[in-house]
A and B are shown apart, each in its own frame.
Chain A
Amino acid sequence: MADLVPATAVDAAEASVGGESLEIRDAAINIEEVMTRIRGSIEEKKKSRAYRQDALLAQGIDLLQLSESSKSIADHLTLLKYAARIDLEGEQITSHRPFMGFAIKCAKRLTRLWIRKYTDSIFTKQNHFNAEMISVLSELNHRLEELKAESARLRELLETFSRR
């Protein structure tokens, strides 16, 4: 089963979705028959020498670690770190116009340079505040994790005593 996907990933997926990995809603197509043909073909290939387990295991690599994305506080904090950083340079200055584009971009750059004289100090303060806030939240999350671990340990101890 776990030829292509790491066992843990397969187990997690199996738990959430029972039955076949493929779904055909057209009642005229017999999904069981199709899956039997597919699995038969895979088994045949496994018997062949050309079937390289190591190469297939590479397919189990989660290139982008999407499966690690979850709604944990730590993930939200990572997201907040990006959202909290205000880029003083702002959005990239572009123009679609083929000929006037260069002049428009220059004008926009000059305007931004002028405005930044007044906005940079405000944004820097905000950046500083955001960074401090993220640090505090991260620290609180860290403490929370420690308390959770301690609480679990105490509960375990309590259960051990109550069993006696």
Chain B
Amino acid sequence: MAVVHQILPNLEYGDAISNYAILLRRVLRTMGYGSQVFARFVHPRMHRYAKPLKAIRRYAERDDTIWIYHYSIGSEITRMVRDLAGPLILIYHNITPPLLTVHTDGHMASRFYAGWEDLKTITDLPRFAVGSSEYNRSQLLQIGFRNTEILPIILNYPVFDRAPKRSIVNQYRDGMVNFLTVSRIYPHKKIDDVIKVFHYYHEYINPRSRLFVVGDAKGMEDYQAQLFQFCQNLNIPNVYFTGKVRFRDLLAYYRIADIYLCMSEHEGFCVPLLECMYLGVPIITHKCTAIGETMGDAGILVRRKRFDEIAEMAHLLVTDEDLRTRVINKQKDRVLVFQEDYLVTQLNRILVNSQSSF
């Protein structure tokens, strides 16, 4: 049996791509393949899941090794991936268009830009270029990759059934309406638009309400400061920026959430939507890029950002029990598509085809 190893620049704690790589490792091992994850930087809490990149030489000698390279931003390890023997599968997790961040963070924009340019130079390298959504796959085709496939993102669902942090649940499950958004604090995630919706809701519908913004702001302190100032200018008291949280805390925020809001302008898949679907939190999300595809026929999609109408929609979802139940049930039906069986079928097909010559 061949071995299938994965490579990614960083294996972070609480990062969607890192979690996906770990889940793929388990799935590959269940399918009978030997599998390791290699990363340049491994977060101390993730050491048991991955090996450092320098250890790759010991594993690269086998002829029957298939390599999976997770590509999300430009990285110098692309050069190293070029030299690996054996078929390569590139999993493309999408790159934010640089123009979306150029006005606020030129450094990040230039990294995205370099990532795009780098990707264009390796179109001949992988046997398969794989996107986590049709949106990502179509980008791969535009860039010039020939053999493209879709490999769905799924979650490690059993871990979401674990007990949430009790203190958070006890503190905030108090009859107030809780809005939630889970996202890194990036400008194109449009946290300011989430605040605008909450502002209307809090001011004109229900002052007994809160907004939790859960996500890391590292490197985006200027943007976060702008958001603080924005809240202050609008005089909104109940907006909580939690920063990066532990998994049990994240579960607690999902448990106390009455509404999930996403106003992002760019998503290659949007994993938190899947988490909400599984955990029964009704979603109102901006319909852009891959989001419509991830949502399928579930949730509420925002075609045009009318903040008053979005806030009133949230109010209906909170107060109209029938509507809320209907939306949650539809979301639970939708999440059934993103199950391990589907992933295994797709992965198996890609692996078999990648071993045969074209």
Q: Which residues of A contact B (CB under 8 A)?
A: 3-5, 13-14, 17, 19-29, 34-35, 37-39, 41-42, 45, 50-51, 55-56, 58-59, 63-66, 68-71, 75-76, 78-79, 81-83, 85, 96-98
Contact sample, A vs B, 9 pairs, CB 8 Å cutoff: A13-B305, A21-B310, A24-B301, A25-B296, A29-B323, A37-B316, A38-B316, A70-B99, A76-B99
B326 pairs with A28, CB closer than 8 A: yes
- Give the chain A neighbours of B330 by CB distance below 8 A: 26
Please tell me which stretch of B36-44, B149-157, B237-245, B252-260 contacts chain A, meaning at least 4 of its Cβ atoms lie within 8 angstroms of it. Answer: B36-44
* Contact flags B94-134 to A (C-beta < 8 A → 1, else 0): 00001110111011011001100000000000000000000
With A5-B305, A26-B330, A68-B103 known to touch, is A58 a contact of B200 (CB < 8 Å)? no
A4 pairs with B106, CB closer than 8 A: no
* Residue from the set B102, B113, B296 with the largest chain A CB neighbour count within 10 Å: B102
B301 pairs with A23, CB closer than 8 A: yes
B313 pairs with A71, CB closer than 8 A: no
- Give the chain A neighbours of B305 by CB distance below 8 A: 5, 13, 21
- Give the chain A neighbours of B29 by CB distance below 8 A: none
B302 pairs with A59, CB closer than 8 A: no
B102 pairs with A41, CB closer than 8 A: no
Which B residues from 191 to 242 make CB contacts under 8 A with A? 192, 196, 199-200, 203-204, 223, 226-227, 230, 233-234
B233 pairs with A58, CB closer than 8 A: yes
Complex: A34 Cα to B106 Cα, angstroms = 42
A83 pairs with B307, CB closer than 8 A: no
Tell yes or no: B280 within 8 A of A by CB: no
Q: Which residues of B contact A (CB under 8 A)?
A: 41-44, 98-100, 102-104, 106-107, 109-110, 113-114, 187-188, 190, 192, 196, 199-200, 203-204, 223, 226-227, 230, 233-234, 265, 287, 295-298, 300-310, 312-313, 315-316, 323, 326-327, 330
A69 pairs with B103, CB closer than 8 A: yes
- Give the chain A neighbours of B42 by CB distance below 8 A: 96
* Residue from the set B188, B300, B302, B304 with the largest chain A CB neighbour count within 10 Å: B304
Complex: A65 Cα to B103 Cα, angstroms = 8
A96 pairs with B43, CB closer than 8 A: yes
A66 pairs with B187, CB closer than 8 A: yes
- Give the chain B neighbours of A78 by CB distance below 8 A: 102-103, 106
Residue of B nearest to A76 (CB): B99
Instruction: Sort A-B residue pairs by CB-CB distance and give the 10 closest, nearest first.
Output: A82-B106, A25-B297, A23-B301, A21-B304, A38-B312, A83-B110, A63-B192, A21-B306, A59-B196, A82-B110
CB distance from B155 to the nearest CB of A (A): 22
Q: Which of A26, A64, A65 contacts B326 (CB 8 A)?
A: A26
Q: Which of B114, B295, B308, B313 contacts A3 (CB 8 A)?
A: B308
Complex: A20 Cα to B312 Cα, angstroms = 14
Residue of A nearest to B45 (CB): A96
Complex: A25 Cα to B296 Cα, angstroms = 8
* Residue from the set A17, A78, A81 with the largest chain B CB neighbour count within 10 Å: A78
Q: Which of B100, B196, B204, B297 contacts A66 (CB 8 A)?
A: B100
- Give the chain B neighbours of A58 by CB distance below 8 A: 233-234
A69 pairs with B306, CB closer than 8 A: no
Q: What 20 additional pairs, Cβ within 8 angstroms, besides A70-B99, A98-B44? A: A4-B200, A14-B304, A21-B306, A23-B302, A25-B301, A26-B298, A37-B312, A39-B309, A58-B234, A64-B104, A64-B190, A66-B103, A66-B190, A75-B99, A78-B106, A79-B99, A79-B109, A79-B113, A82-B107, A85-B110
